[in-house]
Amino acid sequence: MDFKDNVQTVDYFCDSLWLEDGLSKNTLSSYRRDLYLFSRWLKETQGVMDLSKVTNGHILGSVSYTHLTLPTNREV
């Protein structure tokens, strides 16, 4: 599996959510964006090219990275 397959996997997952749960267009768009970003982060920082190889540690690492690097509104 390569990175391109991850994009197809994310699309399939979001399409399934839409069919099963009837989620709004905005919700699906947000899920899709977040999953693409996570997949890219996995590839670029962890060398993980296959979403089926993701561990809890990868997820926690991504959340930690995002929390530490993204600007917040707390500094207002």
* DSSP letter string, 27-59: HHHHHHHHHHHHHHHIIIII----GGG--HHHH
More confident residue, 28 or 22: 28
Q: Cβ distance 76 to 47 under 8 Å? A: no
Rounded to an integer, what distance in angstroms lies between the CA atom of residue 35 and that of residue 15? 13
Per-residue pLDDT of 27-62, as tens digits, reads: 888 888 888 889 999 999 999 998 889 999 999 999
0.85 cut: is pTM over it?
A: no
pLDDT above 70: percentage of residues in the chain: 88
